[in-house]
Structure 1
Amino acid sequence: MNIIWGGAGDPATNQAIAAFVADQIDGCERGFSDFTTLGVTEEGRLVAGVVYHNYSPEAGVIELSAAAISKRWLTRPVLNAMFGYPFDEIGCQMAVLRVSEENRGMVSIANRFGFTSYRIPRLRGREEAEIIFTLTDNDWRAHPVNRR
């Protein structure tokens, strides 16, 4: 697995990773605006992506949207890069994920990595709740994956 970055320095890669993620997420047809991306490739093929968006520098909060077609993408180096960007590079104090309550895989991942969850009924429409997950920089740094 290799990590690639999009962003202002590589707008074509940035757009390609964001489109990949949006295509994998139900209800994300509009895509993203004002974002930076991280991609994970395997044998030159994009298998996962993370979009950093809705950044609020005043509050130190950023939202992450992620998707993958491989279950093997969440390696320690990917996790360190994925959370290193918001917490170490741009100084966020909190990362936020919005996940359909029906996305059991992502709900499980967020719970394993120490996110706090808040279930909001009807946030994805009349019949579907969304779970807002938050992860503080303190909780991330205290997580066992960061022990060396």
Structure 2
Amino acid sequence: MRVNILWGGTGNRATNEAIGSFVASRIGGCERGFADFTTLGVLEQGRLIGGVVYHNYVPEAGVIELSAASTSRRWLTRPVLKAMFGYPFDEIGCQLAVLRVSEENGGMADIARRFGFTSHRIPRLRGRGEAEIIFTLTDDDWRAHAVNRAVSIK
């Protein structure tokens, strides 16, 4: 599958809002959307199939939160992953990325663990009856991940 990456942000506010809305509409409990955010969108044949919202940025601590959603399981290609994590770790110099996931979203939790995130379960963080898993990924762990290793051709 060939996908294209599209960036939102202050230079492209309409695109930023569209990607932010796309992501928020697919995350339970995110009806209010996001504030002060930048986005990355993934297009297939001109159609938005995935998005990442970068928000809750704390430059003094080098920490940013990511929220993501898609309509296709195949959107996380190597170039998308490199762009997705290149922004926080290479572009703006973060040392930690945070991802919040409902304990009921086993698929997303599995993806986060595969990409090297460490999990911390917080009871009731999504309300009285639902825990949330806070996933953290350091820049060092991301750089050591297999997706960043050169592919050798024999």
- Tell me the TM-score normalised to structure 2 length: 0.96
The corresponding residue for 1:128 is 130
- Within the candidate set 115, 118, 124, 2:117 is matched to 115
State how far apart, in whole Å, the 1-side matches of 2:107 and 2:9 are: 27
Question: How far is 1:79 from its partner?
Answer: 0.2
TM-score (norm. length: structure 1): 1.00
**Residue of 88, 93, 96 corresponding to 1:94:** 96
Q: Does 1:24 align with 2:20?
A: no
Matching residue of 2:15: 13
Structure 2: how far apart are the matches of 1:107 and 1:32?
A: 21
Deviation at 1:115, TM superposition (A): 0.3
Identical aligned residues as a percent:
79
Q: Which runs of 5+ in 1 are unaligned?
A: none
CA distance in 1, matches of 2:134, 2:92: 22
Shift of 1:86: 0.1
Deviation at 1:19, TM superposition (A): 0.1
Q: Read off the aligned partner of 2:104 and give its amino acid letter.
A: E
Q: CA deviation at 1:111?
A: 0.4
**Structure 1 residue 142: Cα displacement:** 0.3
Aligned to 1:147: 149
Deviation at 1:114, TM superposition (A): 0.4
Structure 2 residue ranges without an equivalent (≥5):
none
By how many angstroms is 1:80 displaced? 0.1
Distance 1:51 1:105 in 2: 19
Counterparts of 1:21-100 in structure 2, within 5 Å, are 21-100=23-102
For 1:138, the equivalent position in structure 2 comes to 140
1:66 and 1:7 map into 2 onto residues whose CA distance is 16
RMSD (Å), alpha carbons:
0.3
